[in-house]
Amino acid sequence: MNMDDKRIKTEKIYTAVTWLIIFLGWYLITKFDIVSSTLVPSPYKVWMTFLRILSSGYNKISIWAHLGASFERLFTALILAVITAIPIGLLSGYFKKIKAVVDSIVEFYRPLPPLAYYTLLVLWMGIENTSKITLLFLAGFAPIYIACVSAVNNIKQDYILSAKSLGADQRQIFFQIVLPACLPEIFTGIRTAVGVAYTTLVAAEMVAATSGIGWMVLDASNFLKSDVIFVGILIMGATGILIDMGLRFIEKKLVFWKGYV
């Protein structure tokens, strides 16, 4: 077993022990009634609630329908963010005039809380999925755009100058040097965008939604159903990890020169 394998094994052990401690602490808190069960349900109660929701759904809607509604909004927004933010971000990093136009707009809305402008989106686009997808799109666009601009700025100028000296035109430089060099940071931006958009999903499902995993958590909070809240949070956390693992797998295949990720 080489050093990398040992390091990976050690990291997995640390991760397993960390979660074991978290679940043990959760069990002990509920076992000795340190906190009211209304606020913190026991692991057993959460597990039984999960099985009940898995079999009969929540609010007469199956858990798969809730996940499907949320993922439809999430992935539609992320796909739109990826296909727009990557080219705009790379061009902004490569051409300063484009950056002068786009950068200030992104930097203006990026710090704004999603709920601050979501009401405007609802007024402009209605209460259906369009306003929700637009909110998630804006949340996901900024991290990808910023990562692309940063990636272009970090490219060593020697690469570009060497390509120009060999007769490469702007198109060849962009697709054969700039884009490959930026891919690692682009994937970092996409992974960040997934987290930001997933966080914003709960806000997106606050208004006029009747399905979705975020709506399920919010609806349960109105009736102090802490067990359902825990189930929703655990499902969102687990699916978020699976999405990130998928992105890491794709990154490892596409950005093979980066090494182990």
User: Can you give the residue range of the structural domain that contains 6?
Assistant: 1-34
How many structural domains are present in the chain? 2
H helix or E strand, kind and range, residue 4: helix 3-31
Shared-domain flag, residues 207 and 244: yes
The more confidently predicted of residues 171 and 235 is 235
Shared-domain flag, residues 112 and 2: no
DSSP 190: H
Shared-domain flag, residues 6 and 120: no
Shared-domain flag, residues 8 and 126: no
User: What burial class does residue 26 get, using C-beta atoms within 10 Å of its C-beta: 0-12 exposed, 13-18 middle, 19+ buried?
Assistant: middle
Predicted local confidence at residue 259, as pLDDT = 54
CA distance 70 to 59: 16
Shared-domain flag, residues 112 and 172: yes
The pairs formed by 115-120 with CB atoms below 8 angstroms and a separation of 24 or more are 115/203, 115/206, 118/203, 118/204, 118/207
Angle of CA points 41, 45, 50, to nearest 5°? 115
Segment 75-87 mean pLDDT: 96
CA 207 → CA 162, 186, 226, distances in Å? 54, 32, 21
The more confidently predicted of residues 75 and 113 is 75
Number of Cβ within 10 Å of residue 138's Cβ equals 22
H helix or E strand, kind and range, residue 189: helix 179-204
Average of per-residue pLDDT values in the chain: 88
Lowest mean pLDDT of 41-55, 157-171, 216-230, 233-247, name the range.
157-171
Shared-domain flag, residues 30 and 96: no
Predicted local confidence at residue 172, as pLDDT = 84
Predicted local confidence at residue 224, as pLDDT = 87
CA 224 → CA 202, 221, 260, distances in Å? 17, 5, 44
Shared-domain flag, residues 1 and 110: no
Predicted local confidence at residue 197, as pLDDT = 92
Segment 4-10 mean pLDDT: 76
Shared-domain flag, residues 124 and 149: yes
Residue 213 pLDDT exceeds 80: yes
Predicted local confidence at residue 136, as pLDDT = 94
Shared-domain flag, residues 11 and 122: no
Shared-domain flag, residues 133 and 25: no
Angle of CA points 191, 47, 243, to nearest 5°? 15
In order, the DSSP letters of 147-164 are HHHHHHHTS-HHHHHHHH
Predicted local confidence at residue 261, as pLDDT = 43
CA distance 218 to 66: 13
Shared-domain flag, residues 107 and 121: yes
The more confidently predicted of residues 168 and 150 is 150
pTM of the model: 0.85
Segment 199-214 mean pLDDT: 83
pLDDT > 70 in the chain, percent = 96
Lowest mean pLDDT of 45-54, 80-89, 167-176, name the range.
167-176
Confidence tier at 141 by pLDDT (50, 70, 90): very high
| CB within 8 Å of 138: residues ≥ 6 apart | 109, 114, 117
Q: Which segments of 32-95 does DSSP mark as H helices, in order? A: 43-56, 63-94
Predicted local confidence at residue 48, as pLDDT = 95
Number of Cβ within 10 Å of residue 235's Cβ equals 20
Confirm if 209 and 215 have CB atoms less than 8 A apart.
Answer: yes
Predicted local confidence at residue 55, as pLDDT = 93
Residue 229 pLDDT exceeds 90: yes
Residue 10 pLDDT exceeds 60: yes
